[in-house]
Structure 1
């Protein structure tokens, strides 16, 4: 298998073609600035799982200019060399190489939530402002001019570029096998190489060639300080998919120039913060969504090319290599979900790989909240040290009621701890609401996760009883030592009954195949995740779809916490030609139409759609600039609007199925009763998995 064959980048030989790229990982840098036990355990687990090259989170070359540098390790001095050596040695015991991604910093994309507290000063002193190639607005706070980056001086730029040399030398001294330059996604290096953000007229700007001088000098400094034979990888976006940003033709020209500068490999991706769903591709992106760009670059250069972008699908990754579209594969979030991914591929156990579901909730969303980065479907990611599942001290039984993701995780964790596990599922199949969630063809990740869970139930020593509804007295009679209720959630009652000309059904019943729409004109009621996805699903079938949401247009998809997923889904709504009525609700059914009440006051708590998880959602959504919402939603004018409709698909709130908790409290049940997942709080897959994991982990047995 090509994926498992050795490969070479310059003087560095890797045992296989799988690279774990640098990703922002909160919680791995200790107060002293070193990678501590948490980081060592986190990265070493991926090395033990078979990965060939691991690049930890970005490393700063200098602290002179970057306000957010304290959030990451730096190699501006020898202080943290011991930390690098420790990590290199730990990875090396599994034949895995360490690469260090060197960064020049954030520049205009520095997020406010990671900045020092004194950054709230107003006005902000000039020497405390972030630096960029030119004066640029802060991506997150464009309307607050005090946060604009200042233009780095010519002298500062020269010194900053030179700082890459000593940092690379220290990386090599610490045992790193290569360095990578963090030149993508609109960060500082990318700002210098992009005319949209570099409007200088000096040695570092004013022409295509001068815009590359910062990178050119940084690479030269690395080769001079660390040695000509020390491999340098350059990560950059072939295109930004942004008006005024880099186009592919310019990206290919940059690729050729980088090869001439002495770069040993190119790591090719796309996008920037304005097109966040490219560098952080959500589940809606196709597997291998950026491979075509790597292929274009490979045709222009003789050095190796690394492909990235939803390549955690081993069959897709293998085809990229066998079809000579790239030389190496970068797998990021796939290795967060399953650190043993490569070993499972080598053992022919691809069906046992825990799949990333592309939700970004355990990784990016955790980081946005200032929490340690982890994974929605693997709670121990980033918590390898402090969250072990300890064996039970004496034999005990565990009954799990419900076979959705929460119930299956409770059963899995119970087996790992040594419980005798039985699971009851009311329907004839496990999976719960993953079945309707997986129905749209753009939800392939959820399909893979569903299939993984179904196989897991077959493989583990779990007594699974299907078509067995949890009844309080039956649970009491069963007599398990512990019971985990994971009975999930169901959609609230329909707001209307079907009329002679308009069929009314729920989105869940539609996606489950229990109901079908009639006619060609469909109104979807509800602008949250389920409503937006259902609307796109129907539009892809050729239906004429209208979406009605009680929220304002700025809240469309507002229960999706990660901006990449939310922004791309909104783009999909726009591209599908779906008309959106914001601040509106269906008022009554008429002959072949539905009358909407428009211009209503948004009512968060009683919207009949969803509830915001917390204030952070609003903050992240506020940062989504120039979104499709403004281009898609009709103006919210108070009054009524008549929409042609043969069917109304209701995507309302999901309500916790928590009756069993109350029923068990009213009878004499000797079992310890616990609850997890949507029956406690309707939320995401991550909440279902994590709450069940936590409940079982904390059982004192």
Structure 2
């Protein structure tokens, strides 16, 4: 029997039976709507692929019920009231395909974002809120909603849910008394300064949420499931200022006692399940947890809600470890495990787990480069490690018309991804890696315990290439002679990059970040890291957690000024963790020399002497493209991929490799 059998037992939400304990957590469906507020083909394919992969309950990303009070622009997210005929038409195609796999699907419906609307998605529309309060991102004051506008939105929820039911959705999820969205802004006293029936007491502040569920039940029937995304704690220190794990602070948002009271009221009002998380946009590394947050971070709060109310509890938040998920269900922490980003990374997660193929589950890195980061910057949902995500039909692999023997130089993520895709298309890739394992920069990068999924991705590539019978040669450097004499039809150069180094005088105690991470060099107990980019900051956290004294010297005015994480949840948390952990930081400073255990640092006209055991260089990487330069004039088909082409991140190494290999 599968050791995770308990995760494959049915569970009920109201009158809806879900075949297993897995839900697809809602994620912003940017790019998945058509101009009339329906689902476009990308959206239909995207959700269907996760149902095909075994997920019991699909919860769509946020859809709107109102585009009048809070304008969003079209197309952006689906909207069930904008053009009901188009929404029902496209929604029906979606739900029928989902149901073919014996899965269920709920439509997540939003009353609006209010003060937390992401500026790139806001356009020129003025932000609204329960009161005239400061916008989360913009230096402007939000407009207060009128009572008539609130009642209009409530009516729109009823209309939108009715159209969802017509389209075949099995239920809806209300978005949300969580994360500080518009309905949550009404519920939290910090944001709600009203003196009418929607302000003051907790019951008044929850009136908006109560009227929504009552309106939906009136329009769709008492037995139509209505669930709620709910945060019992906000982690707000102040406006635009959130708390870190382990930090002592005064909660300005919703704290646990009120979270318990509110949960009881909300269930009494008619909500059939609570989808639990914590956090807010003021502390959105809780709501969108990066790798710096522990796995399963919402479990204590889900358990609390399970003990508070008598409705099913859903729990997400880095729950991709199947042992953790099984234990959570077995011990009554939650009834359903929600997987968001893990299902972006691998839509077949549930089926692979059920059939015992856990080593073939492609891991999520919690990097948020392809999902939350791209939503934030480009209004597009994707995945860093899975180029198919949200592009399933457009990126469908086709068999090679003329199979080729392809040499791949380099076993980092670009080389491995190219080999995987080429093999799936019927080509004959032969991969050469100069070290004794696949993974490239994933190997040093994955050393800190919070980066364990980097090593998991390297292990996944090793397993998948083995399963596909790709010919792999380790401990073998590629030279020009090998490329020219092996009878290859094409060559892919993915030789990566090398750390940038410079001399500080006494270089016997000057190391690269990779040398320290891999244990090749001992930095001592007191070290200075030159470079406050992503590598330098993560290295500093890892060394500090070992009890070392760490100082970061950064030439620019702030950390992560160049090549920082795309998603603010990652970058803001990392920026806050550096001082919180007691790491010293010197910005606008440049290292001058290192001699006799003393590093001289210049800042403006001031020179400072720092006593330290070592200096670690984390000042970036340089493309290693010499092999390509020698081959390019001599071969009819040679491609340059990954860091060897342009030093970037894991996402673009994988995406570029996928693009080239899928058309070679």
Query: Does TM, normalized by the shorter one, top 0.5?
Result: yes
State the distance in 2 between where 1:113 and 1:13 align.
39
Provide Cα deviations, 1:215-257, integer angstroms capped at 9, x if missing partner. 1111111111111111111112111111211112211111111
Provide Cα deviations, 1:565-612, integer angstroms capped at 9, x if missing partner. 11121222122200100011111224332121113xxxxxxxxxxxxx
Structure 2 equivalent of residue 176 of structure 1 = 169
Per mean C-alpha deviation after superposition, the further-off stretch among 37-46 and 150-159 is 150-159
State the distance in 1 between where 2:61 and 2:210 align.
23
State the distance in 1 between where 2:200 and 2:279 align.
23
Are 1:187 and 2:181 counterparts? yes
Per mean C-alpha deviation after superposition, the further-off stretch among 640-649 and 366-375 is 366-375
**SS in structure 1 of the partner of residue 337 of structure 2:** strand
Does the 8 Å CA contact 1:166/1:226 hold for their aligned counterparts? Answer: no
Are 1:438 and 2:432 counterparts? no
Match of 2:226 among 232, 238, 246: 232
Are 1:534 and 2:518 counterparts? no
Q: 1:4 to 1:153 in 2, by over 3 A?
A: same
Structure 2 equivalent of residue 61 of structure 1 = 65
Provide Cα deviations, 1:181-224, integer angstroms capped at 9, x if missing partner. 10121111111101111110001001211101111111111111
Are 1:95 and 2:62 counterparts? no
Does the 8 Å CA contact 1:23/1:57 hold for their aligned counterparts? Answer: yes
Are 1:690 and 2:658 counterparts? no
Provide Cα deviations, 1:465-500, integer angstroms capped at 9, x if missing partner. 11211111221111211111000001012432546x
Runs of 4+ aligned structure 1 residues displaced above 4 Å come to: 554-558
State the distance in 1 between where 2:581 and 2:506 align.
26
Matches for 1:284-299 after TM superposition, within 5 Å: 284-299=292-307
Match of 1:222 among 212, 216, 235: 216
Matches for 1:19-98 after TM superposition, within 5 Å: 19-68=23-72, 70=74, 71-76=76-81, 78-79=84-85, 80-98=87-105
Structure 1 equivalent of residue 511 of structure 2 = 505
Does the 8 Å CA contact 2:302/2:314 hold for their aligned counterparts? Answer: yes
Does the 8 Å CA contact 1:65/1:130 hold for their aligned counterparts? Answer: no
**SS in structure 2 of the partner of residue 642 of structure 1:** strand
Match of 1:578 among 556, 572, 583: 583
Per mean C-alpha deviation after superposition, the further-off stretch among 474-483 and 673-682 is 474-483
In the TM superposition, residue 261 of structure 1 has moved relative to its aligned partner by: 0.7
In the TM superposition, residue 133 of structure 1 has moved relative to its aligned partner by: 0.6
Q: 1:234 to 1:371 in 2, by over 3 A?
A: closer
Structure 2 equivalent of residue 18 of structure 1 = 22
When the two structures are superposed, what TM-score results if normalisation uses the length of structure 1? 0.89
In the TM superposition, residue 262 of structure 1 has moved relative to its aligned partner by: 1.3
In the TM superposition, residue 16 of structure 1 has moved relative to its aligned partner by: 0.6
Per mean C-alpha deviation after superposition, the further-off stretch among 69-78 and 462-471 is 69-78
In the TM superposition, residue 57 of structure 1 has moved relative to its aligned partner by: 1.9
Per mean C-alpha deviation after superposition, the further-off stretch among 477-486 and 584-593 is 584-593
Are 1:140 and 2:133 counterparts? no
Does the 8 Å CA contact 2:445/2:454 hold for their aligned counterparts? Answer: yes
State the distance in 1 between where 2:632 and 2:347 align.
41
Provide Cα deviations, 1:377-422, integer angstroms capped at 9, x if missing partner. 1101111111122111123211111001110001001101100110
Are 1:162 and 2:155 counterparts? yes
State the distance in 2 between where 1:423 and 1:114 align.
42
Structure 2 equivalent of residue 662 of structure 1 = 629
State the distance in 1 between where 2:501 and 2:561 align.
22
Does the 8 Å CA contact 2:505/2:595 hold for their aligned counterparts? Answer: no
Are 1:338 and 2:346 counterparts? yes
Does the 8 Å CA contact 1:298/1:325 hold for their aligned counterparts? Answer: yes
State the distance in 1 between where 2:159 and 2:560 align.
47
Structure 2 equivalent of residue 623 of structure 1 = none
Provide Cα deviations, 1:246-296, integer angstroms capped at 9, x if missing partner. 112211111111111111111111111111111111112111011111111
**SS in structure 2 of the partner of residue 202 of structure 1:** coil
**SS in structure 1 of the partner of residue 91 of structure 2:** helix
**SS in structure 2 of the partner of residue 580 of structure 1:** strand
Does the 8 Å CA contact 2:504/2:592 hold for their aligned counterparts? Answer: no
State the distance in 1 between where 2:100 and 2:282 align.
41
Are 1:404 and 2:412 counterparts? yes
Does the 8 Å CA contact 1:42/1:381 hold for their aligned counterparts? Answer: yes
**SS in structure 2 of the partner of residue 129 of structure 1:** coil
In the TM superposition, residue 158 of structure 1 has moved relative to its aligned partner by: 2.1
Are 1:151 and 2:170 counterparts? no
State the distance in 2 between where 1:99 and 1:190 align.
20
State the distance in 1 between where 2:402 and 2:80 align.
49
Unaligned runs of 5+ in 2: 238-251
State the distance in 2 between where 1:575 and 1:59 align.
37
How many residue pairs match? The answer is 642
Structure 2 equivalent of residue 475 of structure 1 = 483
In the TM superposition, residue 367 of structure 1 has moved relative to its aligned partner by: 2.1
State the distance in 1 between where 2:531 and 2:414 align.
25
Are 1:459 and 2:476 counterparts? no
**SS in structure 2 of the partner of residue 443 of structure 1:** helix
**SS in structure 1 of the partner of residue 431 of structure 2:** strand
State the distance in 1 between where 2:659 and 2:324 align.
34
Unaligned runs of 5+ in 1: 120-127, 600-637
**SS in structure 1 of the partner of residue 351 of structure 2:** helix
**SS in structure 1 of the partner of residue 622 of structure 2:** strand
State the distance in 2 between where 1:495 and 1:247 align.
52
State the distance in 2 between where 1:386 and 1:560 align.
27
In the TM superposition, residue 84 of structure 1 has moved relative to its aligned partner by: 1.5
Does the 8 Å CA contact 1:528/1:560 hold for their aligned counterparts? Answer: no
Structure 2 equivalent of residue 376 of structure 1 = 384
**SS in structure 2 of the partner of residue 374 of structure 1:** coil
Matches for 1:609-620 after TM superposition, within 5 Å: none
Match of 1:321 among 326, 329, 333: 329
How much is the aligned-residue C-alpha RMSD, in angstroms?
A: 1.5
